[in-house]
A = this chain, B = another copy of it.
């Protein structure tokens, strides 16, 4: 979901939003054994024009040589640095329902720069139960534990009605980036970033284009 652009940054957020997909695709190409790629190959994989890809990457420097294409492993290193995932960010997951369970069981985050450190829920029947390799913690201890661990990234998988309250707790604890799965908009202070995952919204974005 769009958010207000931080002042003074010249790079459009929409460009920033495409970089993770470039990185993901470059890693796939590397996994296939390729060493060099081109903006047109990346474009074919991503459903974008090669001009778009060249323009997006040009915000960050010169990554390819005319006619020689991009060195894949070099560009991966650069994109990981630009996106600040050349390190591992600890993440707090709030919500141990069906979706929280799927998230906790998913093993693809570490490769992308993230590692779930804590899982919280407010349901007494879930607190102290196991979920994947985690013990579900009482949300009453969230602020204290997240602050002590200096965690800055959260995934929010709670019902819509609870989301704003939990978001407030996360912000109080020092979280600056919230991946919001609850189908409601969060109001957060300046300097806190929210991305919304809402399958209903993403499908509506496509039905717009379909003939009724």
Give A residues with C-beta under 8 Å from B.
1-4, 6, 13-14, 16-21, 23-25, 28, 44-49, 82-85, 87, 89, 91, 97-99, 101-103, 105-106, 108-109, 111-114, 152-153, 155, 176-179, 183-185, 187-188, 193-210, 212
What are the residues of chain B within 8 A of A194 when measuring CB–CB?
A: 47, 206
**A203 contacts which of B13, B47, B91, B106 (Cβ < 8 Å)?**
B91
Chain B nearest Cβ from A134, distance in angstroms: 14
**A109 contacts which of B91, B178, B199 (Cβ < 8 Å)?**
B199
Docked pose: A198 CA to B24 CA in angstroms: 10
Docked pose: A196 CA to B199 CA in angstroms: 10
Interface of A, secondary structure class, is mixed
The 5 closest A-B pairs by CB, nearest first: A112-B200, A20-B201, A177-B206, A98-B102, A20-B204
Docked pose: A16 CA to B208 CA in angstroms: 8
Docked pose: A137 CA to B198 CA in angstroms: 26
Docked pose: A179 CA to B200 CA in angstroms: 10
